Each structure stands twice: as structure tokens, then as C-alpha cells.
Structure 1
Amino acid sequence: MIATLAALPIALLASGLPVFLVFLVAVAATLAFVLPMPPLLLQQVVFGGLDNYALLAVPFFVFAGDLMGRSGIADRLIKWVLALTGRIPGSLGVGTIGASSMMGAISGSSAAAVAALGKTLYPQLVDAGYGRERSAGLLAASGAIDIVIPPSIAMILYGLAAEQSIPHLFLAGIIPGLVIAAIMSAYVVMVAIRAKVPRAGRFDLGLVLSTSKSAVWGILMPVVVLGGIYGGFFSPTEAGGVAAFYAMLVARYVYRSMSWGDIVRAAADSAVLSAKILIIVATAGAITWLLTTQGVPQAITSWLQAMDMSAVEYLLCVNVFLLITGCVLDPTSAILVLAPLLVPVAAALGVDPIHFGVIMTVNLAIGMFTPPFGLNLFVAQSVTGVPAHAIYRGVWPFVLVQIAALLLVTYVPALSLALVR
């Protein structure tokens, strides 16, 4: 069975088959030729994996993020952040990281942030002297922060896979997300000083006030969403609905930048993207069910305990494994398949599952812009037109910077657990 569920998916991935079909074929082949189980079980498990109320948050937040990009909320947030960072060396690069963090606090979609920011900021970054490679690399890397800062779709899926509190995971992601943004900003400032990149402008209180007034509805969105969750007014799933409704009202009646027809088209595109995510959820759930019923997590736990591995050693091995995995698998697939296997071992070694969820998310966020298959690299290439090999060169420094932040998040649990506790 292990050979079927290990060798077959690798071979199918190498052939270019979509991830959901890789999972589906692997489970079907195992049920048909290895285990004495009726194939009808596959249908029940696949559809049963979607029977979870918390999953409704996914299409809601996807829709909210799409509306934010189309309605001009994102552009207003970008101008507001750039106004705040005008006096800092490398201010445009720092502003890019700040704008991406704000985008993450609204939609939780990394690829959407890269696409939205790339259209607006890439030409400005190149004109400011950052160069094509570094500009594209910065955009791809800063977008990864979005799946760490709440509300995060990756955190929602980890909460489902590991049976952990989604509100606690959202809280746990706040400080690590800000730490990653701060370390990246420090690196950008250092490079800007060394390369003598000019400041984007100067601090102008009048400009800050005017851009704040223009962006206030976007700034309030994460306040409404997260404030509602932690104030006890609604659950994370209901928060997704509130975010989508809020974005729709702002787009239609406040900024008046979208007609009802535009909103319907955005809903249709969001439905397609949500379907792509949820079909992976369904088929990955089948793999997880099969591994769990055959006792694989328990066997791995017993094997590692027999090796007498410490928590520090285990987390180091997990980081290396997840960084490699993130290069070839998207966060949705990796979390749903690997969390049920890795979390029991971490818990047995005394690692808090909430802290482990942040570690796992940060690892897979780095994988989103790590060559050669990181999703953000392809999005950045399509938006900027920079060749893939050039983006690879531009993104490597940010990979190393975020790995340094990952080690900090891994071995200082208080960063993840301070707000939760």
C-alpha cells in the first residue's frame, strides 16, 4: 500500500497530471488492487470530505479578495501604504511589503495579492531603480506573507485537517506574519542604502490624510472581520460571508466602481477558483482517510519515538521536508495530506499544534515563491513579463531572508502563542 501511495503519486505528478487527479488515481488504485475494500467507499469519502461547515469560508474569502482587486480597494490601500513609507530608504520596496500584508489581512490569497500588486507596483519599482529581476522577486516573495496573516485560507484548511481552533490559528499567525514583513523590510532597506536607491518621496501629512480617507473602507475591512470573530459576533465561516458582503457594498455603493453585472462576473470567477481549491480538498481528504484507517500516522509516531528524536531535531527535519514539498505542491494539497501525519508526532514531542500550524504555513508560504514550481513565480511572470530564469535570480535573496524568519518562528514559540495564551 505504501508503495502505491508514494511511488504512484510521484510518477503521476512528474507526468504533469493535475494534483487532484494524482490523489484520486492513487486512492482508487490502492482500493482496487491492494486493499480489500469496496471501490464505492471512494465516492463516499470524497464527497464526505466536503461536508464541513468551515469550508464555506473558502469561497467567501476568495470572492471578497476578487472584489477588492476589481473595485479599486487594493489600489487605494497601496497608495495609503506608500504615503506612510515615503521617508524610509527603499520606501517603495517597503511599501510593497506593507501593501501585500494589508491585502493578506483582507483576502488571505497569495496569488491574488501578487497579481493585484504587480500591475500597479512593478513599473514603479523598475523606474525607482530596483531592476526587473529584483522587482519581480520582491513581488513574488511579499505575496507569500498573505497566507500567514489572518484571515488565511491555509490556516482554515490546517484547522480542519488537524482538528484545531481556526480563531486560535488566526491569532497565532498575526505576530509571525508581521515578523516576516519586518525582516523582509529590513533587508530591502539595507539593499536600498547599499545600492543608493532613491526614496519614493517624502512624508507628507496632507497626503497621508487624503489617502487614509480614500482607503478607509479597505482599512476597516480586517477590523470588521477579525473584530467580529474575536468579539464573538460571528464564526470564521460567517466572517467570510461578512467580508464578501462588505466588499460588495463598498464596490457598488461607496466607490461605485462596479456594476451588478461586474459583481456577478466576479462571483463566477471566484466560484471557478473555489472549485479548484475544494476539489483538491475532497481528493486530499481521501488520501488522508486511507492513511489514517491503515494506521500510518501511528506507525510514523512509533518509529520516530523509537529513534529518540527531540522536538528541536524533529522540527528541523520537518522544516527541510516542507520547504522541499512546497516547491512542488501547493499549500492546500500539502496541508491536507501532511498535517494528519505530522501533527500527531509533533504533539507527542510536546510541540503545540497551534504553533506547529504556523510553522507549517510559513514553510509552505516560502514554497510558493521557491524555484522552480512556486505558484507566485508563475503569477509574477504573467503580470510582469519577466522571464522565469530572471525571476529565479531575483527571488533567491528573499527565500533566504524568509528562511531566517522561519527559524525564528520555529524556535521561539512565544511569537505564535503569545496572543493565543
Structure 2
Amino acid sequence: MSWVLGLSIAFLTALGAPIFVALLSGAALVLLLFPGPPLIALQQTIFGGLDAYALLALPFFVFAGELMAVSGIADRLIGLVRALFGRLPGSLGIAALGGSTLIGTICGSSAAAVAAVGRNMYPQLIANGYGQRRAAGLITSSGAIDIVIPPSIAMILYGASAEQSIPKLFIAGIIPGMLMALMMAGYISISALLSRLPREQAFRAQVAWLAFRQAVWALTMPVVVLAGIYAGFFSPTEAGGFACAYAAFLGLIVYRSITFSDLLGAATRSAMLTAKIMIVVAAAGVISWVLTVEGIPQALIAATADAGLGPLGFLLTVNLLLLAIGCFLDPTSAILVLAPLLVPIAVSLGINPIHFGVVMTVNLAIGMFTPPFGLNIFVAQSVLGVRAGEIYRGVLPFMAVQISALVLITTIPALSLWMLQGMK
């Protein structure tokens, strides 16, 4: 049964079928060809897979990201980073990285960050001598950090599929996300110094204060959202709703940068993106159910035990697997399909499931800009108007930096778990 499922999914994916079509067709074929549950179970499992309270947070954070992109919040955050780090080598590149990271603390969407930062920073990076390849690679890879730092849509999906605490996953992603950002900033600075790229004007308190005043409303948004979740004032779902309301308030009342028509447009785009994600969630739930009925998770646990893999060996093997899969599948599909298979094995080896969720997310974050099919590459190509080949070459050094960060995050669980000490 499992070989028919795997071959049918691989065949349809190779033909270019949407991932949800490949998953549902494979499951339907198995139910038709092999005796077992009736075909009506397919329909029941599709709707059952969406019946998870944690998934309610998803459309809210998607909508918050859209509102942030159209309301000018991203521009103000980028301006603040530029004012603070103007004299560092590679300051303009660090501003693009910092702006992308701050955007991630609001919406958790990698593609949204690439689009917002790309429109604002790419022409300036080109004008300051970064070159098309380096500028495109920097913007494309920086957005990947946004699915690691909270609030992360990928971690919401992992928490729902692996039945883990989403607030704990959010906290666990803080240090790894900041580590990735710091290592990338170090590389950008050293590279700019060696290339003798021009620096921006020196730090001036008056300019920094003005940039802070312009960005202060935007800065309070992630602080209030995350503090509310960790203090127990509201759940991640309620936090997402608050983020939407707050972003709309900033755009309509405070900045007056959007109209109700813009609000409706953002809602429409968010609904379309949420529908695309949810249909993959439903299809992945069907695959997980079919594999569980077949006993695949139990067989994998037994095979892992027979192979004698320890926790570190298993994690390194998973890293190689996920880095390869990330080249072809988006994080949503990969997490929903693989988490139910891999988490039981990780737990059986004594690996903390929260740490494992962070490792999975970081792997798939790197896959967001890994050639040939990383989603950020296509977003950057559309926004920047750069050939895919140039982007492929531009992201290679940043891949090396983030894989180095992945090795540290994988081998030092305390980077993920230290902030969770004392939590129930």
C-alpha cells in the first residue's frame, strides 16, 4: 500500500500537479485498490483534519502580514534599522536583514517579508554597489528567518500536527532565529568590508530618535502580541486577531496610509492564501491517516531502533532529508506530511519534541531559498525582476551561513530550550 501511495504522489508531483491534488489522489487510489476503510473515510478525514483550534490562528496572522505590507509599517521598521546601524560595514544590507527580521516578529510570513523588503531596499542596494546577485541573494535569504522567530506560521502548523504547545514553540524559536540573523549580519558586514562597499552616514541621535518616533507604533505591535501570549492574557489565535485589529488601526487611523478599499483588498488576498494553505492541511491530514492505518510510523520507529541511530545521528539524518525535501516542497506541506511521521521517532529516542520542531522549522526555512524551487526565489524573481540563475548564485553564500547556524541549533538543544526552563 505504502509504495503505491509514494509512487503516485511522486508521479503526480513530477507532472506538475498541485501538492494537494497529488496527496488526495494518492490517498484515493490506495483506498480504491486495497481492502480496508471505505472511500467515504476520505471525505470524513479531510474535514476532520481541519477541525483543530490551533489552525484558527493561521488566517489572522496571514491577514496581519498583508495589512502590514500595505500600511507602511515595513518601511518604518526598515528606516529605524538604517538609522541605528548606519556606520557599520554593510549597513544597508544589515538594514535589509534587520527590517526583514522585524517584519517576521509581526506576521511570521517569509514571502511577505521578501516582497516588502525587496520593494523598498533592492534599488538602494543596487545604487550602493551591492550588485544584482548579492542584493537579490541577501533579500531572498533574509526572509527565511521569519518562519523561525515568533509568531511563526510554520510553528503553528507544527504545533497543530504534532500536538505540541504553540506558545512554547514560539519561545523556543527566539534564540535560534536571532542566532541566524546575527550570523548573517556578521557575514554581510565582513563581505562588505572586503568589497569596500560604501557606508551610510554616521549614527546621529536626532535622526535615530526621529526614526524611532515614526516606528514606535509598529514596534509595539510584536511586543504586545508576544507578551500577551507568554503572559497568558490571550491564546495564539486571539493574539492573531489582535494583530489584525492593531495593524488595521495603524494603517487607517495612525498613519492614514490605507483606505477601506485597501483593507478589503488585503482581506481578499489573505482569504485566498489561507484557502491554499488549508487545502494542503486537509490533504496532508489524509496522508497521515492512511500512513497511520498502514502502520508506517511504528515501522519507522522499529527500523530506526534496528539501525542503532542515536539522537544526534537521527537529527543529522533528518537534517539531510529535510534540506533535500525543502528544495521541492514548501514548509507547510513538508511539516504537515512529515511531522506526524518523524515526531514519534524523535520522542522514542528521547529528543524533546519542541527542540525537534525548531530543527524542522530551521531546515525548512533554509529550503525557502534553496534552488531550484524555493518559494522565496519565485517571490524575489517576481518582485525584483531578476533572473532565477542570478538569484541561485546570490543565495549560495547565505545558504552556507544558515546551514552553519542549523548545525549549532541541532547539536545544542539549549539554544531552543533554555528560555523554556520553569515553564509547565
Instruction: Give the aligned partner of residue 300 of structure 1.
Output: 300
| Distance (whole Å) between structure 2 residues aligned to residue 202 and residue 59 of structure 1 | 41
Instruction: Give the aligned partner of residue 249 of structure 2.
Output: 249
| Distance (whole Å) between structure 2 residues aligned to residue 376 and residue 385 of structure 1 | 13
| Distance (whole Å) between structure 2 residues aligned to residue 97 and residue 346 of structure 1 | 33
Deviation per CA, 1:203-235: give whole Å up to 9, x if none: 111111111111111101111100110111100
Letter in 1 for 2:24: L
Letter in 2 for 1:416: S
Matches within 5 A, 1:198-277: 198-277=198-277
Tell whether the 8 Å contact from 2:4 to 2:30 is kept in structure 1 after alignment: yes
Matches within 5 A, 1:255-334: 255-334=255-334
Letter in 1 for 2:148: V
| Distance (whole Å) between structure 2 residues aligned to residue 384 and residue 261 of structure 1 | 26
Shift of 1:52: 1.3
| Distance (whole Å) between structure 2 residues aligned to residue 35 and residue 218 of structure 1 | 56
Shift of 1:295: 1.4
TM-score where L is the length of structure 2: 0.98
Tell whether the 8 Å contact from 1:90 to 1:192 is kept in structure 2 after alignment: yes
| Distance (whole Å) between structure 1 residues aligned to residue 113 and residue 198 of structure 2 | 25
Deviation per CA, 1:67-126: give whole Å up to 9, x if none: 001011111111111111101100011111111110100000000100010000000111
| Distance (whole Å) between structure 2 residues aligned to residue 87 and residue 232 of structure 1 | 40
Letter in 2 for 1:71: S
Letter in 2 for 1:235: S
Instruction: Give the aligned partner of residue 77 of structure 1.
Output: 77
Matches within 5 A, 1:405-420: 405-420=405-420
| Distance (whole Å) between structure 2 residues aligned to residue 218 and residue 298 of structure 1 | 47
| Distance (whole Å) between structure 2 residues aligned to residue 239 and residue 292 of structure 1 | 33
Instruction: Give the aligned partner of residue 155 of structure 1.
Output: 155
Instruction: Give the aligned partner of residue 27 of structure 1.
Output: 27
| Distance (whole Å) between structure 2 residues aligned to residue 32 and residue 241 of structure 1 | 42
| Distance (whole Å) between structure 2 residues aligned to residue 172 and residue 35 of structure 1 | 43
CA shift in 2, pair 1:314/1:123, >3 Å: same
Shift of 1:343: 0.9
| Distance (whole Å) between structure 2 residues aligned to residue 201 and residue 125 of structure 1 | 15
Shift of 1:293: 2.2
Tell whether the 8 Å contact from 2:2 to 2:294 is kept in structure 1 after alignment: no
| Distance (whole Å) between structure 1 residues aligned to residue 364 and residue 262 of structure 2 | 33
| Distance (whole Å) between structure 2 residues aligned to residue 200 and residue 3 of structure 1 | 58
| Distance (whole Å) between structure 2 residues aligned to residue 265 and residue 145 of structure 1 | 27
Tell whether the 8 Å contact from 1:145 to 1:365 is kept in structure 2 after alignment: yes
Tell whether the 8 Å contact from 2:66 to 2:270 is kept in structure 1 after alignment: yes
Instruction: Give the aligned partner of residue 126 of structure 1.
Output: 126
Shift of 1:405: 0.4
- Give 3-state SS (helix, strand or coil) of 2:419's partner: coil
Shift of 1:35: 3.6
Deviation per CA, 1:239-268: give whole Å up to 9, x if none: 100100110111111111111221112111
| Distance (whole Å) between structure 1 residues aligned to residue 128 and residue 351 of structure 2 | 45
Deviation per CA, 1:279-330: give whole Å up to 9, x if none: 1111111101111122111110011101111111111110000000000000
Instruction: Give the aligned partner of residue 400 of structure 1.
Output: 400
Identity level (%): 58
Letter in 2 for 1:149: I
- Give 3-state SS (helix, strand or coil) of 1:47's partner: helix
- Give 3-state SS (helix, strand or coil) of 1:194's partner: helix
Instruction: Give the aligned partner of residue 15 of structure 2.
Output: 15
Structure 1: any 5+ residue segments left out of the alignment? none
| Distance (whole Å) between structure 2 residues aligned to residue 95 and residue 417 of structure 1 | 29
Letter in 1 for 2:335: I
Letter in 2 for 1:142: S
Letter in 1 for 2:378: F
Letter in 1 for 2:177: G
How large is the RMSD of aligned CA atoms in angstroms? 0.8
Instruction: Give the aligned partner of residue 114 of structure 2.
Output: 114
Matches within 5 A, 1:33-52: 33-52=33-52
Instruction: Give the aligned partner of residue 187 of structure 1.
Output: 187
Tell whether the 8 Å contact from 1:128 to 1:200 is kept in structure 2 after alignment: no
Letter in 2 for 1:339: A
Greater Cα offset, 325-334 or 28-37: 28-37
The answer to whether residue 340 in structure 2 is matched with residue 340 in structure 1 is yes
Shift of 1:152: 0.3
| Distance (whole Å) between structure 2 residues aligned to residue 124 and residue 261 of structure 1 | 30
Instruction: Give the aligned partner of residue 145 of structure 1.
Output: 145
Letter in 2 for 1:324: A
Letter in 2 for 1:228: G
| Distance (whole Å) between structure 1 residues aligned to residue 257 and residue 8 of structure 2 | 49
The number of equivalent residue pairs is 421
Greater Cα offset, 163-172 or 93-102: 93-102
